[in-house]
């Protein structure tokens, strides 16, 4: 349906605009600098053993630009993955100041993202996040029906 597609494209565009604003805010915070690049396995070989799926904020930014995120929840999952990996690294290297700093920064980044999402919902006056969630769920149902009909 053309109207549904237009609405979907609008929601996804607005979501990308919001996510880019969030990432811009995270980028200017110097304490979050280490979260913007992958951990170099040469500097910290333990990272390959500890983190089964490395993640950093530059990867999230690339996914925003590629239109990967259909919901805020998907973006939050990637930010949580950055935090989880940083926490795993800190736990594996007790007393290591650098891993402590990175874990602290990752927790702060996740809190900031969630806080910005809450403020955005209030400022916008309508719940873009819920609209994107509904459209994504509808797309999933449509794809399942199409797959079942083809089988």
CA 31 to chain centre: 18
Per-residue pLDDT of the chain (151 residues), as tens digits, is 566 788 889 889 989 999 999 999 999 999 999 999 887 778 777 777 788 888 899 999 999 999 999 998 999 999 999 999 999 989 988 998 888 999 999 999 999 999 998 888 777 756 777 777 777 788 888 888 888 888 7
Residue 32 DSSP code:
G
> 85 CB contacts (<8 Å, ≥6 apart)?
50, 51, 53, 54, 55, 106
Residue 94 burial (CB < 10 Å; 0-12/13-18/19+)? exposed
Contact of 39 with 54, CB cutoff 8 Å: yes
Contact of 79 with 113, CB cutoff 8 Å: yes
């Amino acid at each position: 349906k053309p109207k549904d597609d237009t609405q979907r494209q609008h929601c996804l565009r607005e979501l990308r605009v919001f996510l880019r604003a969030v990432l811009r805010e995270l980028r200017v915070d110097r304490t979050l600098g280490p979260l913007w690049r992958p951990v170099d396995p040469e500097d910290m070989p333990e990272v390959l053993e500890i983190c089964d799926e490395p993640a950093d904020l530059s990867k999230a930014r690339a996914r925003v630009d590629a239109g990967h995120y259909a919901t805020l929840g998907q973006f939050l999952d990637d930010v949580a993955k950055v935090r989880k990996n940083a926490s795993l690294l800190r736990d594996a290297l007790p007393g290591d100041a650098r891993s402590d700093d990175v874990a602290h920064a990752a927790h702060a980044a996740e809190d900031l993202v969630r806080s910005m999402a809450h403020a955005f919902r209030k400022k916008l006056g309508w719940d873009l996040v819920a609209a994107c969630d509904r459209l994504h769920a509808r797309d999933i149902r449509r794809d399942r029906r199409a797959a079942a009909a083809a089988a």
